[in-house]
Amino acid sequence: MQGVLDLIYLTLIQLVVTWVVVGIMWFLQVVHYPLYRKIKEGFVEYERAHIRRAALLIGPIMLIEVITAILLIGVSTEGTLTKLAGANLILLILIWLSTFLFQLNQHQKLSVRFSLKIVQRLIHCNWIRTLLWTLKGLVMVSFCYHLFHLGTIARKFFSM
């Protein structure tokens, strides 16, 4: 029974954390980053403050997300759930690669000097993360559907 409860808790944590980040990503993509083009004075200081504050908010969330995504694979023992948990983790790895290879590089450049070209690059390459996180959110919705709606939980409870 503990395994089933672990599966439920990890699923709910992963679902909530993923959709929190999806919301943050869409806000950044359609509101925050485009407004970078409007900042004329003090941009470098603004960008440095953005990096610090964003890291304090998103860093712990991403850490919780990666830990629960890894653990979710370990407790997902049914074929479809295992495949969805694997897809969830693969998407997260791609998101982290995009973050460290593209977004952080653009933010680092912007923390030294403003460049409209770099802002445009940041906006364009952030679409990768925004869409991957949205897809990851949909994978987790599908995971929950298979877990709760299709009787997977009932089968796990009654097969003990």
Task: Give the phi and the psi of residue 70 in degrees, each rounded to 5.
Answer: -65, -45
Q: Helix, strand, or coil here: 1?
A: coil
pLDDT at 40: 84
- Total number of domains in the chain: 1
Q: Which domain holds residue 24?
A: 2-158
Stronger pLDDT, 135 or 146, i.e. the higher one? 135
pLDDT tens, residue by residue, 62-114: 999 999 999 999 998 778 999 999 999 999 999 999 999 999 999 999 999 99
Count of residues in the chain: 160
Tens digit of each residue's pLDDT (9 = 90 or more) over 17-62: 999 999 999 999 999 999 999 998 999 999 999 999 999 999 999 9
Looking at residue 107, what is its pLDDT? 97
Is residue 27 a contact partner of residue 130, using CB atoms and an 8 Å limit?
Answer: no
Least-confidence region, from 54-63, 122-131, 140-149 = 140-149
